[in-house]
Amino acid sequence: MVATTDFAELIENSELLADYITQSEIALNYKKAKKQLDEDIEAQQLIHQFVKMKVKYEEVQRFGRYHPDYETVMAEIRKLKRELDLHETVAKFKKAEKDLEQLLNEVSRIIADAVSPHIKVPTGNPFFDNRTCQGNCGGGCRCQ
């Protein structure tokens, strides 16, 4: 069991790390992009349209090509997705979000590696996720 003072110090240092991250340029860019997205009326309308269409898309997916509106819904969801992806405010937000996620993944990986290289940290990034042994090499997880 970790001594109470060690635990308190660990929590305090974790809060310090969180402060450093939230004050980083990457986090500030994310907050700025999020604010711009929230205030962009056109982007919000596109998002609202996409969410509504996504409900129809999920219904169509239950029946596949047999649904009478399959072709229409599939074409419309692709069109809206493309509009969203190409919208400047949305694209800036997605990039800022991806940058922040990458920073958090890297910090998580560094912390996990400091404890043991065998700790798995789900990152959604195959490069980071596959760094630990998968047990298929027969080498007792020395294949790193």
Residues 88-106 have a mean pLDDT of 96
pLDDT given at position 105: 93
Q: What pLDDT is attached to residue 5?
A: 80
pLDDT score of 126: 64
Q: What percentage of the chain reaches a pLDDT higher than 70?
A: 83
Q: Identify the pLDDT of residue 120.
A: 87
Q: What is the pLDDT of residue 143?
A: 47
Task: Scan for tokens 């760094």, then name that residue.
Answer: 131
Q: How confident is the model at residue 129 (pLDDT cuts 50, 70, 90)?
A: low
pLDDT over threshold 80, residue 139: no
Q: What Å distances lie between residue 111 and 23, 68, 115, 116, 118, CA to CA?
A: 19, 52, 7, 9, 12
What pLDDT digit, counting tens, does each position of 23-81 carry? Answer: 999 999 999 999 999 999 999 999 999 999 999 999 999 888 888 999 999 999 999 99
Angle between helices 4-22 and 88-115 (to 10 degrees): 150
Q: What residues contact 99, with CB distance under 8 A and at least 6 apart?
A: 26, 29, 30
**CB distance 57 to 73 below 8 Å:** yes
Q: What average pLDDT does the chain have? A: 87
